[in-house]
Amino acid sequence: MRQQIAAANWKMNLTYQQAQELIKGIINIPHTLAAHQRAVYAVPFPYLTMVVEELKGKTNTGVAAQNCYTKTSGAYTGETSVEMLKSINVEYVVLGHSERREYFNESGDLLAEKVNIALTTGITPIFCCGEALHIREVGTQNDYVAKQLEESLFHLAEDELKKIIIAYEPIWAIGTGKTATAEQAQEMHAHLRSVLAAQYGEVVANEIPILYGGSVKGSNAKEIFSQPDVDGGLVGGASLKADEFVQIIQALK
Ligand code: PGA
């Protein structure tokens, strides 16, 4: 079975104390993760080490950075390299989140470079894609999202692509409470898988986890995750509440 992943995206929220309370709270709520399931925590840079420490010995969990730079080291004041992340046992990095594309002008080309450096360093990219409302309204979302994959991933060799996790996050559903229906999520995920299959073949396409993101909650996770091409979720708001995030973890297939 493909890996099923519940990924928390804390974004730029919580103080250190609140972050520690949250991760301890999650750990203290009994929950199980099967061998094919993962709980991944994408937390702000200053809390990465703390969360790595708290999760030590907890199987099938991982920690993600929310961004990285395209170079391994050097005179790039304010940036964080994948080498640094690797050295503190961070295993994943979220790349191409719509907030970074929009507020920080991250282009498909820049993201391709970030994907490359992450893979070179052995860090797994969680690559985000998704369309804005005006694109869905004119019905061109399938081509739009396929192009995002093409721009930043399709230069990869097959064995590199196999290491990617994709997160489909329609922008109109992020933080709005408007979740895509389970059918809308399935439809896009199946489309993305067919786009991957056309480029890399069905065997590879069937191995890539595709997460859904956008107002996933404890109450709707099970229905969304039950769709055949939805392999879990990337969760913002609802990942800031311990009991709700555990409910989401337990909704994984
Ligand atoms: P949300 O955010 O769950 O608060 O909609 C999801 C995301 O942006 O990753």
- DSSP track, 110-151: HHHHHHHHHHHHT-EEEEEE---HHHHHHT-HHHHHHHHHHH
Contacts of residue 216, defined as CB under 8 A and 6 or more positions apart, other chains included, come to 179, 224, 233, 234, 235, 238, 248
Atom of ligand 1 nearest to the CA of 217: 3
Is 154:138 a contact under the CB 8 Å cutoff?
Answer: no
Ligand 1 site, residue 169, Cβ cutoff 6 A: yes
155 is catalytic: no
Ligand 1 site, residue 215, Cβ cutoff 6 A: yes
pTM, 2 dp: 0.97
How many folded domains does the chain comprise?
1
Here the tokens at position 58 are 């907890």
Q: Which of 97, 99, 189, 244 is catalytic?
A: 97
**How much is the pLDDT for 176?**
83
Atom of ligand 1 nearest to the CA of 94: 9
Q: Which of 54, 99, 131, 169 is catalytic?
A: 169
Q: What is the distance in A from the centroid of ligand 1 to the CA of 213?
A: 6
Q: What is the distance in A from the centroid of ligand 1 to the CA of 74?
A: 32
Q: What is the distance in A from the centroid of ligand 1 to the CA of 175?
A: 5
Is 150:131 a contact under the CB 8 Å cutoff?
Answer: no
Q: Which residues pair with 4 in a beta bridge?
A: 37
- Domain CATH code at residue 46: 3.20.20.70
Residue 39 domain boundaries? 4-250
Ligand 1 site, residue 234, Cβ cutoff 6 A: yes
Per-residue pLDDT tens digits of the chain, which is 253 residues long: 899 999 999 999 999 999 999 999 999 999 999 999 999 999 999 999 999 999 999 999 999 999 999 999 999 999 999 999 999 999 999 999 999 999 999 999 999 999 999 999 999 999 999 999 999 999 999 999 999 999 999 999 999 999 999 999 999 988 887 788 999 999 999 999 999 999 999 999 999 999 999 999 999 999 999 999 999 999 999 999 999 999 999 999 9
Ligand 1 site, residue 98, Cβ cutoff 6 A: no
97 is catalytic: yes
Q: What is the distance in A from the centroid of ligand 1 to the CA of 146?
A: 21
Atom of ligand 1 nearest to the CA of 213: 6
Dihedral angle at the C-alpha atoms of 221, 224, 225, 229, nearest 10 degrees? Answer: -160
Give, for ligand 1, the residue of 13, 165, 169 to mutate: max count of ligand atoms closer than 8 Å to Cβ: 169
Q: Using CB atoms within 10 Å of the CB of residue 160, give its burial: 0 to 12 exposed, 13 to 18 middle, 19+ buried.
A: middle
Ligand 1 site, residue 237, Cβ cutoff 6 A: yes
Name the residue among 58, 37, 60 with its Cα closest to residue 253. 37
What are the backbone angles phi and psi of residue 237, rounded to the nearest 5°? -45, -50
Ligand 1 site, residue 175, Cβ cutoff 6 A: yes
The H-assigned helical ranges of the chain are 16-28, 48-54, 82-87, 98-103, 108-121, 133-138, 141-153, 158-161, 182-200, 202-205, 221-225, 242-250
In whole angstroms, give the CA distance from residue 246 to residue 235. 12
